[in-house]
Every structure is written in C-alpha cells, then in structure tokens.
Amino acid sequence: MLYGRATETAAIGDLLSSAASGAGGALVLRGEAGVGKSALLDLAAATAGRPDPPGRGMRVLRASGVEPEADLAFAALHQLLQPVTGLLDALPGPQRDAVAGALGLAAPTSDRFLVSAGVLSLLTEAAVPGGLACLVDDVQWLDRASADTLLFAARRLRAEGIALLLAVRGDTPLKGLPELRVGGLDAGSAGDLLASRAAVAPAVRAHLAALSGGNPLILRETTARLTPDQLSGRAPLPDPLPGGEQLFGDQVSSLSEPARLVLLVASLDADLATVLRAAATLTGATPGTRTAPAAPAAAVQAAPSGGPAGVAVLGDGVTGWVAEALREAETAGLVSVEGATVRFRHPLVRSAVHGVAGSVRLRQAHAALATLVEGDRRAWHLAAASLAPDEAVAAALAASAVRARARGGYGDAATALARAAELTPEPALRAERLKDAATAAWLAGRPGLAQTHLAEARDLAGRLTGPPRDAAGPASPADAPAPPGESGHESDREPVTGGRLLAELAQLRGRFELISGDAAEALRILSRGDTLEMLADACEAASYVGDVPAIVELGRRALAHPRGFLRDAIAGIGAVLGGDPGGAELLRAALDRAGELTEAAEFLWASAAASYLGEADLSAELTGRAGGVARMSGMVGQLPVVLEFVSAAERFQGRLAESAAIAEEGLALAREAGYTNSVGAHLANLAVVAALRGEEEACRRHADEALAIAIPHRAGLRVGVAMYALAMLDLGLGRFAAAHDRFTAITTAGPGAGHPTVVWRSTPDRVEAAVAAGELDAAREAVSWLERWSANAATAESRALLARCRALVGGDDELFEEALRLHGEPFEGARTALLYGERLRRTQRPGQARPHLRAAMEAFQRLGAEPWARRAHGELRAAGESAARPDAGVLAALTPQELRIARLVAGGASSKEVAAQLFLSPRTVEYHLYKIYPKLGITSRTELARLL
C-alpha cells in the first residue's frame, strides 16, 4: 500500500488515462534512493493492467537500468522490448532492420535515428488495441544507447496511445520531458507507514519522520531494526538514522563470508548459473564457522552456461555450500531468485555489497566472471579487473565498441573506447583509440565529451611527433573509420603513424568546429589539407563562412586531383566565383554524373553545383533527393544538416508549411545531437517562413536566435539567411525602403556575415524592393548582376526570374508574359502575376490586371503567404473587383505535419513508406489520415490524390 502519494498517483492516473484514450505522453519521476519511485511504477503497472476502469487493460512493458549492464549497448532496450519483438514485421523495412540489428536479431545498422524511429514505431504497434504503459526504472543506469533511444521516443509521443514513465535518481539529465519530483512523505503519511509496520509511539513516529526526511525505505528498514524500547520511546533513537547504503551495509556485514561472496558476484552478473560458478572459483577455505572448497579453474571453464542445471558439474560439495550461501542471502531479504535470475531487493543493496567487499575483492570477482562469459560482458569484466595497461584487455574493449557502433550505440562505443585507451600501453595506439572515442561521442550527440577525447588524443599525438599542428586526413565525424575494423578485430587497422594520426585529428577538429563551433576556425584548420576529401571539407567550411577568395583558391587546388564528380564540383564552384568561364563547364560535367550518385552528401554537392549555375529549381530537386537518401540509409550524423537544405528547398518551391515542419524536425534533431550551427540554420529557415507568412514576432524571434549563434560562430551563410528573413518581412509588409536597405546590406556583407548564394537568391527580391522604393539605378545594377550570374542557367525557373526582373526595370509586358509562361514554382509565379497585375492597373488597364491579381491572391492564399495575399487583394479591389478574399482553402486546416503526410500519400506512398520517411510509425500515419480526411471533406486516398 502507498501512503501520502495523492499528487503522484493522480499524475500517473492522468497519464495512463490519456494513453488508454489514444493520446499519451511521458513523465519523469525524479527522487532520491528509497523514496518510492519503484513503488509508483508498480502502482502504474497494476493500474494499467486492470480491465477496469473502462478503457484500461493496457499492455505493460517494463525494464530497469542495472549497473553491471550500463556499458552494454541496447541491454535495457532488449529487456524492455523482448515481449513484443513479434511485432517487428509491422514496421517499415528500414526501421524494422535497424531495431532488429540493435537487439541482435539481424545484421546491425549504424543509424541511431532509424533505431530510435523504429523503437517508437514498435511501441506504437504494441499499444494496439488498448494502449501501452512503458515503465523504466533506474534510468540513471541505462546504457547510453537505450537511454538515447527511449528519450527520442518520449519527446515525440503525441497520439500513439503510449504512457512512458521514467524513474531516475540524481541529476541525470532528461531534457525536454515533464518531471515530477518525488520527495519524502509528510509527517502524517510517514506516521501511517510506521504504524502499519509496528507499534510505534506517536512521538517516536514524528521523530523518525523528521530524522529520515520521510524516506519510506529508511523508515521501513529502521523500524525493523529498532528495539521495542526504542519504538515505544523508552530508549533513544540512533541519531543520525542509518541511510540506505549504511543500513544495508550492516545487513551485508552480518552475513557469512560465502554469502557475501555470492552477493558480490550477483551484483556483477544476474545469471544464476554464472553467479554460482563464479562464487565457487573465488572461495577457498574460509576462516570462521563455515568452510567451502575451491573449484578448480578448469572445471569452472568447462561448465556449460545457461540455466541452473549447469551448476551440477561443479560437484555436490561446491553446489551445496554455494546454494546454502545463496539461501542465507535470500533469508536475509537482500536478494531473491526468480527463475534463472538473481534479483536484488533494492539497488542500494548492490552498493552496500560493493562497499563491504572492497576494491580488491571486487576486482577478483570481475576476473572470475571474465572466465565464464563472452563478448561484451567479458571485455567489461576484464577491464574492471585490470589495474595496469593491458593490450589484450584494451583490444577486447575496442572490439566491443565496434559491435556497439555497428548497432547505432555510439555513446556506449565512446565509453568502451575511452576505457580501452586508458588500458592501452602503446602511446600511438592509445591516441588512435581516443580519436575513435571522440568520433563515437560526437555521433552520440555528446559534443563536450567528444572535444575532451579529441584534446587528449591531440596532446598525446603531439608528444609522439612534436608540437601539435593542424594537418589533413581522411576522417570525418559523419563518415569516420569504424573504431576499430568492422570485423570486431583491430587486425584490419592501418599501422598507426604520428603523421597520419595528426592529420585525422586535424580533420576531426575541423569538422567539430564546423558543426558546432567557429566556422572560420574550421576553415583555417581544414584548408591545410591536400586530399580531395579534405579540400571538400574546407570548401564546405568556406561556404559556411562566405569566404569567396578561399572558395576560389580551394577550387584551384582541387584541379590537381583526377577528374570526377567531387573534384569537378569543387573546382567548378571556385572557378565560377573567380570569374573563370570554364567553371560552368566543370559544373555541368559534375551534374552529368548526378545519375551515379548514392550518398546524401553527394546530392548536396550536386545541389550546390546547380545553385552556382543559377538553377534554383534543379538545386531544390537535388536537395530533396539528398533528404530522401539521408532518411532511408545509414547516414549517421548527417540528417540534421541535410534537413537544413531540405527545409530551404521546400521554401524555394513555395511549400511553406512543409518547410516549417522540416525545419522544426531538424531543429529538434540538431539540439539532441548538439549540432549548434545546425540549430542556427534551422532557426534562420523558420525566420524566413515566418516572414513569408507575415508573422512578424515569430520572424524576429527566430532571426535573433539564429544570429545569436551565427554571428559569434562566423557562419556567414546563416547570418545571410537570417538577414534575408528580416528583409523579406519588410518587403511583404510593404516597407519597401527598409527592405531595400536590408537587401543592399546583404550584398556588401563580408566573410562571416554574408554569402554569395544568399546574394544571388535574394537579387529578384532586391530588384522588387528597389523599384518599389524608387531606387531605379540600384534596381538596374541588380538586374545586370543577375544577368551575369545566370548566364549559364538553363532551367525554366531561372529564366523566369530573370525575365521578371528585366520587366520590372524595363516595363516590358512581353517579359512579364514570358516569365509567367516559364514559372514552375507557385510562390514565385504568384509574385510575378502580382507584379504584372500591379503594372497593368497602374497603366490604366484594370480589366487586364484583374485575372493576374486574382490568380496571385488565390495562390498566396493557398500557400499561407498572408501579407502577399492581402497585398494582392488590395490591388484587386483597386482594379475594380470588390469580391472578398476567398477562404484559404481546405489545406489551410491541416497542420504542417498533416500536410506533409497528405502530400506523400497523395503521391502514392503507403503508410509504411510515409512512416519510414518521416520517422513515424505506420499507425501514427494512419491516425493522422483519420484526422486529415474529415478536414478535407474526403474519405479515401484516391480522393486525396485527386484533391492535391
């Protein structure tokens, strides 16, 4: 029975009811050891499993973090999901394979985002039909891979019928989740608890409640150990009361040596047979009242693993005393045997056992267990038993890291590699493993730890080869060599050399800076390399900075490499910016190879090539392909960055709602991964979308947040986009002079504050603002600049924009008509129709103006571009049409996420295919469709396809 937990019980009841009704969410129960978090989880399990009240009868999944398994990737996840692995086939293929690989049921995949999305989908399947209660205790001891995956799912619970309860003690951060602090019981509830345990005088109850802080565990254990005189108040209470570990420590110390030994081994491995065999190897003749023979090592090593039946091979004598020792620990109430597993009554018992045993005995227990287990468990036992560097142990840990990384467990791989480095005798190999630990930590979303490991590796490598210097090499955090080889052995690793290691460390440092630090510093580091991969990274950094001379120079250096897609793209971009007419030919050559591309990063380079040719529509198409590849393949670490460009491409194509939804998704992923500069990029994209919608407060807020990151990090591209958002806000709201000033400032911004691509993409907007502000000379100059930039552009949209700009400064109707014929993008087409309609009305041709103004108004209305729709409506009324603005259309009723799903389904994608692309579950997609159809007044996918 629980006492005094009305607030906690109500919160848990609300969460379960929400999940049973098809909604759900997550809640963190945080409190000190013994305060009753586990009891609250038991209450949740019992409540969820009852058939009443109506709507309950939920499925319950449970898992607990266990200290000995905290370094075993996906150990807790396997415990939680094992009962529902039969539902894996209901998942989209990529998600199914990722989860099966993480659980050891199939070949592993290295994409942690796919694993996380797959787990969310699997939990959603498990929630059908009555909901799911997912209860996780001792989160502070979860392995990093399981914790990251569950937190990913918890932050995305909306309408999946899942209640996720996480119990944690200490300061373990669980960002983004609601928390309920579980404190000690109040005096009255503490008194009720004590009264239920023994006859305790009222004054003693109050005193015990005060001394214990209302901690239920301490109250129960203390009551059981107090004398009748103390309980009645005739004798004084101990002050201070023994805390949890101290209390259990006294109980552990009172046991016999064999019982303490069995407890020690059980605290490190819960498998009953393994515990009994290991205890037998550790105990020889023991001084005191009880003795036990030692089992020969050979006999132990020959003993089969598995269930309790394996104990028999140790011999009757050993079995007898070990079983007796285990029974003694059970009788004391410290452990229980459930099937083939030894379970501790409370996690504090384990801590007390370690405190009583001491470090020497603890290492001996680890060593004994290492002879009985295999794989990752053996590696960690060996490491815990080691005092001095040992290459064999270090290699075993490094191989464990390979297996963790292959399943997407980058945090656990980083931990294993860092410990392997500590145990590595050879300095160069130690530095190599620290470098691999830095890469794994980065991919796990732990940039601070990654920087620490990288600094340690650089310091060590510098001592081996001289003062640290920046160099070049083939590694990058998004596609670094697995640490060590993928086979699980290090025999396939290249020999460690100081020069090669320094080169790889320099490139890692440059990539870290580029993603989360100073982009100009990243450029300085990366530009010292000579390999094509290093030049590509340096060119990317120069592009982020907006340093045109650096891009030109890097392109020139790329010409020294053999021809190929990447070389032609880098060299072509540099040549175009340097005014070399041969640059366009190089970019065309790169784009001719687009059909051969498979990697997300390659498609982004192809998009950049199209952009520097002035072909915005082709650039957007290639960016969309990059996004599709990044979602569906193991492009670890790239997705938040790729989504920056996908969001921008959606915006360029006039799909504002989709752009905002992708930016919000990317923003969440970037924050989870610690990609600071990507956070700034997504905020800048959101600012532009808000500007086009006329949401002034949101635009300024997002732009300010983006600039607060981009300016100190000298990310000129992101500064330029944020400034572009503010300029478009002014333009859309009719503040033409202010808009012109902002666009002009963008063109004069130097490295770290602007970017040539932003200048190009904003030039049509600058022309419009200049004409409206009466700055005709500036408008003509901008058109001349656009003509030079677009000289090699061949796509229809690029020609349409140029024709519109020429029409604005020249007043040529034929150019407006040409632009309207060429436009393929709805937003830009509507803007041309608006500008043409304005020109016709002001030249006294209202009848000709009205069709264009009406078309523009309706398009802007559909796209959600409110200020532009309002402007078109005003012009239409001035042209003599008094009709009210039409409704925004049925699509306006959809949320951005619903609109993304609707468009994919309308394009023929199945629910599984949509789920795979959007990191959702198929049932979540179906749930959204269930809401979409009534909003649109339709009943089927066929009607949806016809509507969209």
pLDDT, tens only, 771-806: 999 999 999 999 999 999 888 888 999 999 999 999
**Residue span of the structural domain in which 882 resides:** 794-887
| Residue 581: partners with Cβ closer than 8 Å, 6 or more residues away | none
141 and 12 belong to one structural domain: yes
Question: What's the rounded Cα separation, in Å, for the pair 782 and 815?
Answer: 17
Structure tokens belonging to residue 102:
């993480």
- Its sign, for the CA torsion 381, 387, 392, 394, is positive
Q: What is the pLDDT of residue 296?
A: 31
Q: Is residue 710 part of a domain?
A: no
Cβ contact 182:33 at 8 Å = no
**Token pair 């990310």 is at which residue?**
715
List phi, psi (to 5°) of 24. Answer: 120, -175
Q: Is residue 929 part of a domain?
A: yes
Q: Whats the size of the chain, residue-wise?
A: 948
CA angle 5, 10, 13 (to 5 degrees): 120
Structure tokens belonging to residue 54:
């109506």
229 and 325 belong to one structural domain: no
Distances (CA, A) of 624 to 283, 567, 588, 650, 896: 65, 22, 19, 8, 17
* Domain boundary pick from 139, 158, 181: 181
Which domain CATH number covers 802?
Answer: 1.25.40
378 and 391 belong to one structural domain: no
Q: Is residue 591 part of a domain?
A: no
* Domain boundary pick from 489, 516, 543: 516
Alpha helices in 127-201 (DSSP H): 144-154, 187-197
43 and 139 belong to one structural domain: yes
List phi, psi (to 5°) of 50. Answer: -70, 145
Question: What's the rounded Cα separation, in Å, for the pair 262 and 257?
Answer: 9
| Residue 441: partners with Cβ closer than 8 Å, 6 or more residues away | 410, 411, 414, 447, 449, 450, 453
Question: What's the rounded Cα separation, in Å, for the pair 813 and 719?
Answer: 36
Q: Which DSSP string do the residues of 638-706 spell out, in sequence order?
A: THHHHHHHHHHHHHHTT-HHHHHHHHHHHHHHHHHHT-HHHHHHHHHHHHHHHHHHT-HHHHHHHHHHH
258 and 368 belong to one structural domain: yes
Cα 833 to its chain centre, rounded Å, is 42
3-state secondary structure of 132: strand
DSSP state of 474: S
Predicted TM-score (pTM) of the model is 0.85
Cβ contact 148:73 at 8 Å = no
Q: Comparing C-alpha atoms, which of 240, 260, 257 is closest to residue 249? A: 260
Question: What's the rounded Cα separation, in Å, for the pair 832 and 830?
Answer: 5
Question: What's the rounded Cα separation, in Å, for the pair 394 and 386?
Answer: 10
Which domain CATH number covers 937?
Answer: 1.10.10.10
User: Inter-axis angle of helices 756-772 and 600-612, to 10 degrees?
Assistant: 40
78 and 192 belong to one structural domain: no
Q: What is the pLDDT of residue 495?
A: 56
Which domain CATH number covers 124?
Answer: 3.40.50
Cα 901 to its chain centre, rounded Å, is 22
833 and 940 belong to one structural domain: no
Structure tokens belonging to residue 65:
């973090």
Q: Which DSSP string do the residues of 358-409 spell out, in sequence order?
A: -HHHHHHHHHHHHTT--HHHHHHHHHHH-SS--HHHHHHHHHHHHHHHHTT-
Q: What is the dihedral of CA 771, 772, 774, 779, to 10 degrees?
A: -20
Structure tokens belonging to residue 633:
């393949």
192 and 160 belong to one structural domain: no
Give the CA diameter of the chain.
113
| Residue 586: partners with Cβ closer than 8 Å, 6 or more residues away | 568, 569, 571, 572, 575
**Token pair 């264009």 is at which residue?**
852
358 and 403 belong to one structural domain: no
350 and 479 belong to one structural domain: no
Domain count of the fold of the chain: 6
Q: What is the pLDDT of residue 448?
A: 86
Cβ contact 817:832 at 8 Å = no
Q: Is residue 60 part of a domain?
A: yes
Q: What is the pLDDT of residue 747?
A: 94
Q: What is the dihedral of CA 314, 320, 322, 325, to 10 degrees?
A: 180
Q: Is residue 458 part of a domain?
A: yes
Question: What's the rounded Cα separation, in Å, for the pair 576 and 495?
Answer: 41
Q: Comparing C-alpha atoms, which of 389, 516, 394, 395 is closest to residue 454? A: 516
DSSP state of 337: E
* Domain boundary pick from 359, 382, 405: 382
Q: Is residue 574 part of a domain?
A: no
Q: What is the pLDDT of residue 914?
A: 87
Q: What is the pLDDT of residue 110?
A: 65
Q: Is residue 154 part of a domain?
A: yes
175 and 192 belong to one structural domain: no
Q: Which DSSP string do the residues of 774-786 spell out, in sequence order?
A: T-HHHHHHHHHHH
Cβ contact 507:528 at 8 Å = no
Q: What is the pLDDT of residue 477?
A: 35
76 and 104 belong to one structural domain: yes
Structure tokens belonging to residue 661:
């939804």
| Residue 143: partners with Cβ closer than 8 Å, 6 or more residues away | 65, 69, 70, 71, 72, 73, 74, 75, 76, 77, 409, 411, 412
Q: Is residue 294 part of a domain?
A: yes
Q: Comparing C-alpha atoms, which of 884, 890, 820 is closest to residue 848? A: 820
Q: Which residues of the chain have pLDDT under 70?
A: 52-56, 110, 242-245, 283-319, 465-498, 633-637, 886-889
For the segment 217-268, what is each residue's pLDDT rounded down to a tens digit?
A: 989 888 888 889 999 989 988 877 766 567 788 889 999 999 999 999 999 9
For the segment 100-154, what is each residue's pLDDT rounded down to a tens digit?
A: 999 988 888 767 788 998 999 999 999 988 899 999 999 999 999 999 999 999 9
